[in-house]
Chains A and B, each alone.
Chain A
Amino acid sequence: MNLDLTDEQQAVRRLVREFAQQEVRPVAEELDRTKSFPYEIVRKLGELGLMGIPYPEDYGGGGADSLSYAIAIEELARVDSSVAITVAAHTSLGTWPIYAFGSDEQKAEWLPRLCSGEQLAAFGLTEPEAGSDAGNTRTRARSENGHWVINGAKQFITNAGTDISGCVTITARTGDDEISNILVPNGTPGYEVGEAYRKMGWNASDTRPLAFEDCRVPEANLVGRRGHGFRQFLQTLDGGRIGVSAMGVGLAQGALDEALEYARERSAFGQPISKFQAIQAKLADLSTEIEAARLLTYKAALEKDAGKSFSLSAAQAKLKTGRLAVRASEEAVQIHGGYGYIEEYPVCRFYRDAKILTIGEGTDEVQQMVIARALGA
């Protein structure tokens, strides 16, 4: 495995790092506090070509690889997870199914406006009683006079309810033992986007329940082949896990950055607390764990770019990075002492933002299931 980043990958890191520091960091606290969707940041990201990083230039994408994409997400999450998940969910969950499985017409219609960031895409899989257990999907779509008529509900869906949300690709039961993906544009009668959830973290990202009541879309809105929805969403989640893993790496690194800076400034008993072994051990352990998690995440991205199977690496990376993000943010709060419990310090937000990383896009327990299965257990 070649661990040297290409010139382009290094340049992407530098670009997104500078962007996150200069454009995101100054407003992250306010966006979180006021639960405001980062429209201005998304617009700027779109202008820079960062809303469609791994898609071909022909469709208005960046033409970059999955590792560049992971690096970009990592650098965003290092500063703010709400912005990072907005980009990650749009890119690897919302846009991916259209790119990977969509018809030429669907690609031509949707990819340019999604890759430019003009519109956002969502992916609707989770239901009140079905998430990773997608076999339990209750949302139904029946074929009627050249249309799909959709009835059901989705929940915890990212990017579906913003002013610039363009469409959601949902999983729906199109037969007794048949799941298909169907694209539903925002504004379609019968498609209702619910009130935003009150969440623990990711406060500036858009997360809502969706309801479908006799919602009719043309039959041509089927994404990929009928009955292939199950394997398509599994593949989509595999890719999504690289993005979410990169978020874990980024959040953990951001927590370490903040903790190190604070530890060097804060004095106790006549010296900076960074000089105490108890603090040094925490910082050293985190830095080591983060580097290991980063390499695992990059391995999954490199495997994807090489066209190899990456399900196992992506699940391992997701399991590792989610836990690490929770631990790193907790240690960072601990190092900050009482100040870590106050919202003026970013680590407080990081602590709230971290927990979802052991849950979203497959819980730790689901990752363990995926990994154990791959081991032949």
Chain B
Amino acid sequence: MKICVLVKEVPDAAVEKRMDPNTKRLDRSGEKNLNPFDTHAIEAAMQIRESGALDVDEIVAVTMGPASAFRALHKAVSLGADRSIHLTDEALAGSDVCATGYALARVLEAESPDLVLLGQQSDDGECYTIGAVVADHLKMPSLTQVIKIDVQDAGLRCERQAEYGYDTVDVELPAVISVGDAINEPRYPSLKAIMGAKKKPLDTRSTGDVGIDAGQVGADGSQVQCGSFKAPPQKSAGTIIEDEDTNETVEKIMAWLDERKLI
């Protein structure tokens, strides 16, 4: 079987995120890295392969992004993917989530994967939605925020993180599954894998190569319009209670909660 893992190059976690007031898009300049959530998706693919429960012939990393995004693919293959595909085209710049999901689905259609994995969110846009959009286009079931995957006879049994606990969901393949960071502890790429990353095949595709309708992608093909934006309100500082006498501290906490009708 074939597993495709969707990955994304994002600004490094240490880079402060800001909106560019001119383009009204996220400023993605500065140091970049592979989206940390996607490293969990690659690790999940590796663990499925290494467990031997499914016969995984190939793990393919797929990204859509500007020319520089090949570095995210190099990291993806150094973490274990066998080859990678880079969808890059001027026409794609400014694509919103729906347009990006459509474009990625076109690439995936050509690959016919048995399973598509991805991180549940990107460290920059944090939309949480790309997996569902891709699944819709591919007519595959979509599972999001998955933190456990077990192989079963007829498919996969997944635990899905929910506000109230966990949902256990059985899903047949092919499927699109986005994973949370609680699913595993990603391995480090070894030095050997880093040095060998350029030797693994990397295919570059343009919109024309995979039959993407140029009218459905890019800024013009996107439905999202950014009117205005502002920084979220600053959080209030909170109340600090010094613990000098624990009985007194407990009373203070109880009074604080009671005042707000929280207990």
Cβ contact of A14, chosen from B33, B192, B198, cutoff 8 A: B33
**Nearest B residue to A47 by beta-carbon distance?**
B190
Interface size class, chain A:
10 to 19
Task: State in angstroms the CA–CA spacing of A47 and B74 once bound together.
Answer: 20
List residues of chain B with CB within 8 A of the CB of A53: 191
Question: Using an 8 Å CB-CB cutoff, how does the interface string of B20-44 with A read, 1 for contact, 0 for none?
Answer: 0000000000000100000000000
Q: Which of B182-199 contact A (CB under 8 A)?
A: 188-192, 194-195, 197-198
A19 within 8 A of partner (CB):
yes
On whether the beta carbons of B194 and A15 are closer than 8 Å, the reply is: yes
On whether the beta carbons of B198 and A62 are closer than 8 Å, the reply is: no
**Nearest B residue to A62 by beta-carbon distance?**
B191
On whether the beta carbons of A11 and B78 are closer than 8 Å, the reply is: yes
> What is the predominant secondary structure among interface residues of chain A facing chain B?
helix
Question: Using an 8 Å CB-CB cutoff, how does the interface string of A1-44 with B read, 1 for contact, 0 for none?
Answer: 00000011011101100110000000000000000000000000
A89 within 8 A of partner (CB):
no
**Nearest A residue to B34 by beta-carbon distance?**
A14
Question: Using an 8 Å CB-CB cutoff, how does the interface string of A52-63 with B read, 1 for contact, 0 for none?
Answer: 010001000011
On whether the beta carbons of A62 and B197 are closer than 8 Å, the reply is: no
On whether the beta carbons of A8 and B189 are closer than 8 Å, the reply is: no
Cβ contact of B190, chosen from A10, A18, A48, cutoff 8 A: A48
**Nearest B residue to A72 by beta-carbon distance?**
B191
Q: Knowing A7-B71, A7-B74, A11-B75 touch, does A19 contact B188 (C-beta < 8 A)?
A: yes
Cβ contact of A12, chosen from B71, B191, B198, cutoff 8 A: B191
Task: State in angstroms the CA–CA spacing of A259 and B107 once bound together.
Answer: 48
Q: Knowing A7-B71, A7-B198, A11-B78 touch, does A49 contact B188 (C-beta < 8 A)?
A: no
A50 within 8 A of partner (CB):
yes
Task: State in angstroms the CA–CA spacing of A62 and B192 once bound together.
Answer: 6
> What is the predominant secondary structure among interface residues of chain B facing chain A?
helix
A64 within 8 A of partner (CB):
yes
Task: State in angstroms the CA–CA spacing of A18 and B190 once bound together.
Answer: 12
Task: State in angstroms the CA–CA spacing of A11 and B190 once bound together.
Answer: 10
Q: Which of B51-71 contact A (CB under 8 A)?
A: 71
On whether the beta carbons of B188 and A11 are closer than 8 Å, the reply is: no
Cβ contact of B194, chosen from A8, A18, A19, A47, cutoff 8 A: A8
List residues of chain B with CB within 8 A of the CB of A10: 71
List residues of chain A with CB within 8 A of the CB of B190: 47-49
**Nearest A residue to B192 by beta-carbon distance?**
A49
Task: State in angstroms the CA–CA spacing of A10 and B72 once bound together.
Answer: 12
On whether the beta carbons of A63 and B195 are closer than 8 Å, the reply is: yes
Cβ contact of A15, chosen from B71, B74, B189, B198, cutoff 8 A: B189
Which of B188, B189, B191 counts the most chain A CB atoms within 10 A? B191
A4 to chain B, nearest CB (A): 13
List residues of chain A with CB within 8 A of the CB of B198: 7-8
A253 to chain B, nearest CB (A): 14
Task: State in angstroms the CA–CA spacing of A64 and B193 once bound together.
Answer: 11
Task: State in angstroms the CA–CA spacing of A10 and B194 once bound together.
Answer: 10
Which of B75, B192, B194, B195 counts the most chain A CB atoms within 10 A? B194
On whether the beta carbons of A12 and B194 are closer than 8 Å, the reply is: yes
B211 to chain A, nearest CB (A): 31
Task: State in angstroms the CA–CA spacing of A64 and B194 once bound together.
Answer: 10
**Nearest B residue to A49 by beta-carbon distance?**
B191
Task: State in angstroms the CA–CA spacing of A54 and B143 once bound together.
Answer: 44
On whether the beta carbons of A62 and B71 are closer than 8 Å, the reply is: no
Given pairs A12-B194, A64-B191, 10 additional interface contacts (CB within 8 A):
A7-B71, A10-B71, A14-B75, A15-B191, A15-B194, A47-B190, A48-B191, A57-B195, A62-B195, A63-B195
B-side residues, CB < 8 A to A, are 33, 71, 74-75, 78, 188-192, 194-195, 197-198
Q: List 11 A-B contacts (CB under 8 A).
A: A8-B194, A11-B74, A11-B194, A12-B194, A14-B75, A48-B190, A48-B191, A49-B191, A62-B191, A62-B195, A64-B195
